[in-house]
Amino acid sequence: MIELRDRTILAVDDDPLVLIGMVAALREQGWRVSTAGNAEAALRRLEDEPGIIAVISDYTMRGLTGVELLNAISQSQPTVALVLVSGRTDLGNSLPSGCQLVAKPFVPEELLSALDAALAHHKP
């Protein structure tokens, strides 16, 4: 997947500390990362930055939930890989096809593994 590293991962979370941790883990692996503090900002970012190949989103945010965000992205941009980060484990049936779920708390390796699986499913 090295050839994908020039593309962008969008990290979405309304908790700045969690967002910083996600960004650090992704950048350490060579990914270019863009961020958004809520679902609405993420949707705008997807329109403005055409190189985004994956979205990693928290579940609980003000406004739209992470599931609502990822379902909207799945409908409008089906080639974008999706990862949801959540403390809830009962979300399986509500996730879009191919979306990977990472349980909180998580270590960076779990997040990166889920991203790899999501990208393999979507093959951008």
Mean pLDDT rounded to a whole number for the chain? 90
Confidence bin at 5 (pLDDT 50/70/90): low
pTM of the predicted protein model: 0.92
Q: 22-29: long-range contacts (C-beta < 8 A, 24 or more apart)?
A: 22/56, 22/85, 22/111, 24/108, 25/108, 25/111, 25/112, 26/56, 26/111, 26/112, 26/115, 28/108, 29/112
Strand partners, 10: 34, 55
The side-by-side arrangement of strands in the sheet containing 100-103 is 32-36, 8-12, 52-58, 81-86, 100-103
pLDDT digits (tens, 9 = 90+) for 25-52: 999 999 999 999 999 999 999 999 988 9
Judge whether residue 63 has pLDDT over 80.
Answer: yes
Residue with tokens 């863009």: 34
| Domain map (residue ranges) of the chain | 2-122
**35: part of which helix (H) or strand (E)?**
strand 32-36
Residue with tokens 């985004």: 52
> What class, spelled out in words, does domain 2-122 have in CATH?
alpha beta
